[in-house]
Amino acid sequence: MKRRDFCKLMAAGAAGLLAGGPLWPMLTEAKTNRAWWDWFCGQAPPRPPAFRVCDSHFHFYDFVQHTDGIPALIEAMDRNGVDHIMFSGMPLIKKWDRDAHQAPVYYLDNNGRTYWYSATDMLLARTLLDKVPEKERSRFHPFICGFNGTDLYAVEHVERMLDAYDGLWHGIGEVFGHRDDLTNMTFGETARGDHPALMKIYQLAGRLDLPVVLHNNVSSQGRPAELLYWPEVERAVGENPMTRFIWAHAGLSRHFEDIDQARYAARLGTLLEKHPNLHIDLSWMVFEDYIAPDPLAGPSKAWLDLIGSFPTRFMIGSDSIGRFSEEALTCADGRRDPRLMKYAFNIRKYHVLLERLRPAAARMVARDNFLDILPARVRKGLGREG
């Protein structure tokens, strides 16, 4: 970049800061978002969605346990073709330190720590029972997540929730193992996918026919290409063959640019072939950063071939965290900012994948695979006994 261009960029950033706006979104737009923003302008509401889908990865609360609420969520689901949703809380809460200059909302907002927050499950259960209209209830699939995955007593929290709200729960997760910066910000022992405390929960889930959503990064930020934590996931899945796992984000995360995606997709294929109880969700930034960085070109050949080879094993999700209201925007300069319509963007972005799959495979990935991983009693209620 020329010095003159750099100075212009810095001047624009300074102006944004003086106006109360952050610098980093401008840099992110310049680096990666322009193609996706252009694409989103033609796909955003009020345009009808092209596919009916299930949101297989969702958090009703954010990292301070705030939420836009049920009416906003149902409206967002209806506007974006979401028939069913994995309904979970947030297992961690961000501490607001007294010396913080601003109240944090996201875990990366400052250097404050996070801690495990079990009340999220009770809050979620009461919301489902008290605030979700009866006619909408069958669209919501609640998952237990409010436990410390390094505590050997954690399984007892799961058992207490199952007992307190008998028949309410449809799964467990998102379970947090290794997670980029969040691991370093969380009080206590480092969580990992094959921790003995989690192995006890996986065993319980297998006995009770409950699927488990596991977030365990495949490696560390410093050594992404070495896939340091791959063995943890393989051990968890391999030693619990009766438990159905959904590996969140395919194990990918921020700062994993050094991972060769073609080789990684091939390795995932070997893992899926070996473990029929493993499923993968493609949610979060990994889709637009690694799988399909160019929306016009769609997913890379390696990823498209992988998903096409295992069409019953992949699912999609918004990974929204407490915020799903949509601001009424018009396209400006041919773009609509996905940051201001996050739920719509994080559901509709998968259209670039679904339109490139065979119709039967597209329906599986978009909708059926999530429903088919739910407990038998739930599938029966939905008329999916097969």
For residue 375, say if its preceding peptide bond is cis, omega within 30 degrees of 0. no
What mean pLDDT value characterizes the chain? 90
Return d(Cα 245, Cα 279) in angstroms, integer: 6
What SS3 class is residue 203? helix
Among the residues of the chain, which ranges form H helices?
Answer: 3-18, 24-28, 34-41, 70-79, 119-131, 154-164, 180-185, 196-208, 230-238, 261-274, 286, 301-309, 342-348, 351-354, 359-363, 369-372, 376-381
The whole-number pLDDT of residue 1 equals 47
What is the DSSP secondary structure assignment for residue 116, as one 8-state letter?
A: E
Average pLDDT over residues 230-248: 99
Identify which of 339, 311, 308, 309 has the alpha carbon closest to the alpha carbon of residue 326: 339
**Residue 339 confidence (pLDDT):** 58
Q: What is the pLDDT of residues 161-181, one digit of tens each?
A: 999 999 999 999 999 999 988
- Give the confidence band of 337 by pLDDT, cuts at 50, 70, 90: low
